[in-house]
Amino acid sequence: MKQLDIYSSQIQRVYLALEDEIIKMLIKRLNTKGLDGDNFNVYSWHLDRLNQLGALNEETAKLVSKATKISKPLLEKMIKESGYDIADATSKTLSNGLDVDKKPVSSNVDMILRNMLKQTFLDLDNYVNQTLITTNAGQGVVSKAYQSILENMVANVTTGTTTAKQALNKAMYKLVDGGLESGLIDKGGHHWSIEAYTRTVLDSTKYRVMNETRMEQAHEYDVHTFVMSSHPASRAACAPIQGKVVNDVPTSSPKYDKRYPSIYDHGYGEPAGCFGINCHHMKYPFIPDVNTNHQEQYDPIEAQENGKVQQKQRQLERAIRNSKRKLNTANELGDREGAEKFKLLIRKQQGALRQFIGDNEFLHRDYSREKVVK
């Protein structure tokens, strides 16, 4: 699991760095000399900046291409290499437990990993890479953001609301606040940011690699029972069965062992079900009458309540990351007043997080969730 975590973290950092580079690029093109000068003409400046749209799109495409060249081989290592290693280790464990010859990695495992790699790359390419770039099919997110900032600056300056420099600062903080949009719009009509989308895709893929390869390789030994890991905080679908031995087949299957519940009765295969999106539970092959379940047991109701508390921790961590990005943006803009404001805000948010974790013993601080690319 450690190697999977490393690869996943490296890929996430590639996309965080990509977003950071795009923000810097926008600032470089918009934060020109003389924004607050007496002779500043917002209309001619606006026209001049619009004429640079083509160059902006070319630079964006180069940044995306660079990120893709780094992330694609890492993604292959994360899914295929790690998947094969996990399947092989599973095979060794089961052969020892059943006292039979070790079987090679299943061809089904190979197919699952190939399909997973293809789908994950397509998801990232369609919803992140292509979304950022202006194509014949439509305007990219970066060019839209650039033009939106220009329009807002013209509107604010012409109405006398703010200076051009103040308008730029405000517009950039607003952009950082929402993040660059991915191409994903959920059922509620909410646009997912690139950071949120890539984090979710990679996190979910990481656990799919772990669980699906173990499950498929176990089938080679006709093992369909698994121990499900347990956590103090859990979603509703997982809480009743976490820490228990479960079947990975429906109750109607001839392979079903009636001594244990089926994951299919707890939303398996659905986004919010057990082992769904953002689920961090793991499956460990379990041989009945041979293996022993050592997982800690938690009260299902309490685990669900803890899950809600943990979501609050995630909100506090997101707020800290957001403020750190704004601090980086303030430094790029040369906004000293803004930088000091965000430094104070970060300290306040970190204090609130420390207090929140201290008030809930089952929580622990994960500094990696507070980091941003510098």
**Are the C-beta atoms of 363 and 312 separated by less than 8 Å?**
no
Distance CA 145, CA 147 (A): 6
pTM exceeding 0.85? yes
Per-residue pLDDT tens digits for 240-275: 999 999 999 999 999 999 999 999 999 999 999 999
- The three-state secondary structure class of 284 is strand
pLDDT by residue, tens only, the chain of 374 residues: 688 999 999 999 999 999 999 999 999 999 998 887 778 899 999 999 999 999 999 999 999 999 999 999 999 999 999 999 999 999 999 999 999 999 999 999 999 999 999 999 999 999 999 999 876 555 899 999 999 999 999 999 999 888 999 999 999 999 999 999 998 888 888 889 999 999 999 999 999 999 999 999 999 999 999 999 999 999 999 999 999 999 999 999 999 999 999 999 999 999 999 999 999 999 999 999 999 999 999 999 999 999 999 999 999 999 999 999 999 999 999 999 999 999 999 999 999 999 999 999 999 999 989 998 76
Q: Are residues 64 and 194 in the same domain?
A: yes
Task: State the pLDDT at residue 161.
Answer: 82
Token pair recorded at residue 325: 């990005």
Which contiguous run of DSSP H or E holds residue 247?
strand 245-247
**Are the C-beta atoms of 78 and 206 separated by less than 8 Å?**
yes
Q: Are residues 275 and 309 in the same domain?
A: no
> Containing domain of residue 142, as a range?
2-223
Q: Are residues 307 and 245 in the same domain?
A: no
Q: Are residues 144 and 72 in the same domain?
A: yes
Domain boundary among 223, 241, 258: 223
Q: Are residues 117 and 259 in the same domain?
A: no
Domain boundary among 200, 223, 246: 223
Domain boundary among 223, 255, 272: 223
Q: Are residues 100 and 238 in the same domain?
A: no
Please enumerate in sequence order all residues whose Cβ is within 8 A of that of 243, keeping only pairs 6 or more positions apart, or say none. 227, 228, 229, 230, 293, 295, 296, 297, 298
Tell me the torsion sign for CA atoms 120, 319, 140, 11: negative
What total number of domains does the chain contain? 3
- Closest listed residue to residue 211, CA positions, set 233, 240, 238, 184: 238
Q: Are residues 29 and 154 in the same domain?
A: yes
- CB environment 352-365: b (16+ within 10 A), e (fewer): ebeebbeebeebee
Q: Are residues 239 and 334 in the same domain?
A: no
Per-residue pLDDT tens digits for 134-167: 765 558 999 999 999 999 999 999 998 889 999 9
